[in-house]
């Protein structure tokens, strides 16, 4: 084992802009590759050694080059671009680098200041399917060209967030909203696990391709599943007409709910599903609105009409806030499980108690000023009517 020199160390760095040393004795920056400062000033992404050699030594450097290029708006050297897209480097990235390291780099890109530019580079360098590998047996089949649509949805979501104002989203909400946008074309794509259970392919991308924390795919899948319901509610939330339809089709029964309260109840239940990520679901649903049109070509051609979508988002958001539902998940039930068991004369819980919990929650959403006594009276009356009918 021998010690290398500082110059040898500099040449083994990933990029010339990352090979600079600070001499604590002289208080000066030392550029041992002879071009680090020059590339930093001119905005170039260059490797100290031939790029293919640098990338094959550690293939993760390809993603680091992309991240720094996107972050600072620097330009890739032509030879670096060729090396990054060559089969040898792509195969090495897929075979030699742990998924955890890949996932960390992708997460830094998505959380950074230029996520769209980073994902565009990944797609342009034909690395998209190397990074975001899918399960070998997905249904329906995903085409190679789908990567363009993924980046287009990310682009639209990113620009819409900027237009709306970043303060509407926390850092974590923005991060997962952008992931949900990037994987939007996969929202109906599934694979079957070892037991034959259908699993969203987004789960596979996060857990197997990127090795991200389990809560990430769970949240993104919840956002995706909320979109159809948001698309149903948007025209009702943004309508200037005070009258409401007799039914709100949300895939659930809203029995014994006053017509004037159905929208509030349906919206409340939807927000309870996605909780603090409801704005992410609403934002992405505005990109798909109206649901009876195919927006695929528009997005590929970047015809986002973002001003119109921003106005749609703001109108729906204001309606939700005015309904008093902005943080509906903090709502405490007026009646607990023990109270329900007492009224129903039950000795233990079970499906009946859960059913009544949903009904009582619907009543509480329909009657925001209701009291515990009023809620219990309604429950007793409703239970009595059902018992007589049976």
Proportion of the chain above pLDDT 70, given as a percent = 96
Assess contact for 175 and 216: CB atoms under 8 A: no
Given a cut of 60, whether residue 246 has pLDDT beyond it is no
Assess contact for 339 and 327: CB atoms under 8 A: no
In degrees, rounded to 5, the angle at the alpha carbon of residue 281 between the alpha carbons of residues 275 and 283 is 130
383 membership: H or E segment, kind and range:
helix 372-389
Q: What local confidence, expressed as pLDDT, does residue 253 receive?
A: 57
Q: What local confidence, expressed as pLDDT, does residue 35 receive?
A: 94
pLDDT tens-digit readout, 336-348: 999 999 988 888 8
What are the start-end ranges of the E strands in 174-240? 190-192, 198-200
pLDDT tens-digit readout, 85-120: 999 999 999 999 999 999 999 999 999 999 999 999
Given a cut of 90, whether residue 250 has pLDDT beyond it is no
Q: What local confidence, expressed as pLDDT, does residue 60 receive?
A: 98
Q: What local confidence, expressed as pLDDT, does residue 166 receive?
A: 75
Instruction: Say how many Å lie between the first and final Cα of the chain, rounded.
Output: 86
pLDDT tens-digit readout, 145-154: 899 999 999 9
Region 256-262 average pLDDT: 79
Proportion of the chain above pLDDT 90, given as a percent = 80
Region 355-384 average pLDDT: 92
Assess contact for 265 and 365: CB atoms under 8 A: yes
Predicted model pTM: 0.93
Which conformational region is residue 187 in: left (phi greater than 0), alpha (psi within -120 to 50 degrees), or beta? alpha
pLDDT tens-digit readout, 35-53: 999 999 999 999 999 999 9
Q: What local confidence, expressed as pLDDT, does residue 248 receive?
A: 56
Beta-carbon contacts of 237 under 8 Å, excluding residues fewer than 6 positions away, are 263, 267, 315, 316, 319, 320
Query: Of 68, 109, 66, which Cα lies nearest the Cα of 85?
Result: 66
Q: What local confidence, expressed as pLDDT, does residue 390 receive?
A: 63
Please provide the average confidence, as pLDDT, over all residues in the chain: 92
Q: What local confidence, expressed as pLDDT, does residue 252 receive?
A: 53
């Amino acid at each position: 084992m021998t010690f290398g020199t500082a110059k040898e160390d500099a040449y083994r760095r990933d990029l010339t802009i990352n090979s600079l040393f600070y001499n604590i004795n002289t208080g000066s920056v030392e550029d041992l590759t002879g071009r680090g400062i020059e590339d930093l000033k001119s905005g170039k992404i260059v490797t100290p050694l031939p790029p293919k050699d640098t990338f094959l030594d550690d293939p993760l450097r390809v993603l680091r080059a992309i991240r720094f290029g996107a972050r600072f708006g620097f330009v890739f050297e032509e030879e670096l671009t060729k090396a990054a897209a060559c089969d040898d480097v792509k195969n090495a990235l897929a075979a030699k680098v742990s998924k955890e390291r890949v996932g960390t780099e992708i997460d830094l890109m998505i959380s950074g200041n230029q996520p769209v530019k980073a994902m565009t580079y990944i797609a342009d360098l034909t690395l998209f399917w190397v990074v975001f590998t899918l399960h070998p047996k997905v249904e329906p089949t995903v085409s190679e060209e789908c990567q363009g649509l993924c980046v287009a949805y990310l682009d639209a979501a990113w620009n819409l967030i900027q237009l709306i104002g970043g303060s509407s989203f926390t850092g974590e909400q923005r991060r997962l909203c952008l992931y949900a946008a990037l994987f939007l074309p996969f929202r109906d794509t599934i694979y079957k696990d070892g037991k034959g259970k259908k699993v969203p392919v987004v789960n596979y991308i996060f857990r197997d391709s990127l090795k991200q924390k389990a809560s990430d795919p769970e949240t993104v899948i919840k956002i995706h599943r909320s979109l159809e319901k948001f698309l149903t509610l948007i025209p009702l939330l943004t309508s200037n007409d005070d009258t409401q339809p007799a039914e709100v089709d949300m895939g659930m029964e809203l029995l014994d709910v006053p017509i004037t309260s159905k929208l509030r109840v349906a919206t409340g239940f939807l927000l309870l599903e996605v909780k603090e990520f409801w704005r992410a679901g609403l934002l992405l649903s505005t990109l798909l609105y109206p649901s009876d049109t195919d927006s695929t070509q528009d997005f590929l051609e970047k015809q986002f009409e973002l001003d119109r979508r921003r106005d749609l988002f703001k109108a729906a958001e204001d309606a939700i806030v005015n309904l008093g539902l902005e943080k509906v998940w903090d709502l405490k039930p007026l009646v607990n499980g023990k109270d329900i068991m007492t009224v129903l004369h039950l000795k233990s819980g079970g499906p009946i108690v859960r059913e009544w919990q949903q009904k009582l929650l619907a009543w509480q959403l329909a009657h925001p000023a209701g009291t515990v006594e009023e809620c219990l009276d309604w429950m007793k009356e409703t239970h009595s009517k059902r018992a007589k009918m049976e």
